[in-house]
């Protein structure tokens, strides 16, 4: 009997949600995703001590050094995985389309200087209206994007309209919100609000021939992952990857493109903003996610400032 992780690999592209180089080498995912929280943890490890010293030693302002470190982590991961590495644009640019485009191109240039071509990188942008518009422009320039902090069908539709390469619906954070709102301890996987959200988006995309990749993210337990087996991609923490690897039980496909149904309609800005306004969970979790990523980016900048001092 093969492990559930191996069975999952047969139906879904497995992505590691970590900057832990040792874990990536051991678990052998296809891709890696990073964010400011992951980069902060990575550069605080002994493994990247030389990279920190090198990045600081090259000089420049704090923002330049922070990007240098972010790309150093991503380039190291790109040297291990055969697929893509996602790298996030500064959360402070989440409502700045022009700034997001410029920063994304700067990140791509920084990777190229390290010998990592753009077809190995996904630029991560928050799924705000402005972030989605930035992705639309970047995609036209041949830079593939990962639209993150996605919590609603409105965001998913807008990302598809923009031609985004990939979206990352946040399963666990959706579940967290509903657990608090409904005062419950948890949900059976089939009734989990985060799982149901990804299933609905997957169904919408597949039934309408939308090429944008659906990558479930932010999992709280293995049951959520199993309930989405068959999704295009799933980005999973090392702890949950280990749990799946140790489980020798049967894993059945939960999502199939053939079962999808529905029709697509383009979503304009007023409709997008209204639907987000009417979805308290999506509005609150999007804003919270941007704040949390920004907070960790500030911590990274402080780490750099302390070294410069």
The catalytic residue positions are: 124
Pairing mode, if any, of strands 13-17 and 233-236? parallel
Measured CA distances, 208 to 110, 161, 201, 271 (Å): 36, 12, 11, 20
**Phi, psi of 144, deg, nearest 5:** -75, 145
Determine which helix (DSSP H) or strand (DSSP E) holds 139, and give its type and residue range.
helix 129-140
Which tokens sit at 263? 């029709």
Name the residue among 153, 172, 171 with its Cα closest to residue 210. 153
Q: Are 137 and 250 in contact (CB under 8 A)?
A: no
CA distance 224 to 137: 33
The Cα 229–Cα 239 span in angstroms is: 18
Q: Coil, strand, or helix at residue 145? A: strand
SS3 21: helix
What dihedral angle (degrees, nearest 10) is formed by the CA atoms of 89, 165, 190, 179? 20
In which residue are the tokens 């149904």 written?
261
Helices (H), ranges, 162-279: 171-182, 193-207, 222-226, 238-246, 269-278
């Amino acid at each position: 009997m093969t492990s559930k992780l191996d069975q999952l690999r047969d139906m879904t592209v497995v992505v590691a949600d970590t900057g832990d180089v040792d874990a990536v080498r051991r678990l052998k995912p296809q891709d890696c995703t990073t964010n400011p929280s992951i980069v902060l943890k990575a550069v605080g490890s002994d493994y990247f001590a030389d990279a920190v010293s090198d990045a600081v030693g090259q000089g420049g302002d704090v923002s330049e050094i922070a990007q240098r470190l972010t790309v150093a982590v991503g380039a190291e991961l790109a040297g291990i995985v055969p697929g893509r590495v996602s790298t996030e644009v500064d959360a402070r640019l989440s409502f700045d389309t022009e700034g997001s485009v410029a920063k994304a191109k700067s990140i791509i240039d920084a990777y190229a200087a390290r010998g990592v071509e753009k077809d190995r990188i996904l630029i991560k942008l928050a799924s705000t209206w402005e972030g989605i518009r930035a992705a639309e422009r970047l995609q036209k320039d041949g830079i593939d994007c990962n639209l993150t902090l996605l919590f609603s069908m409105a965001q998913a539709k807008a990302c598809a309209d923009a031609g985004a390469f990939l979206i990352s619906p946040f399963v666990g954070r959706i579940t967290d919100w509903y657990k608090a709102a409904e005062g419950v301890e948890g949900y059976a996987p089939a009734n989990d609000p985060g799982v149901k959200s990804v299933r609905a988006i997957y169904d919408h995309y597949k039934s309408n021939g939308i090429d944008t990749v659906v990558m479930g993210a932010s999992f709280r337990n293995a049951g959520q992952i199993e309930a989405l087996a068959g999704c295009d991609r799933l980005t999973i923490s090392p702890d949950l990857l280990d749990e799946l690897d140790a489980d020798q039980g049967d894993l059945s496909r939960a999502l199939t493109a053939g079962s999808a149904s529905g029709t697509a309609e383009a979503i304009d800005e007023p409709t997008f903003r209204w639907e987000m306004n009417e979805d308290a969970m999506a509005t609150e979790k999007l804003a919270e996610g941007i704040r949390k990523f920004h907070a960790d980016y500030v911590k990274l900048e402080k780490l750099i400032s302390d070294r410069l001092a």
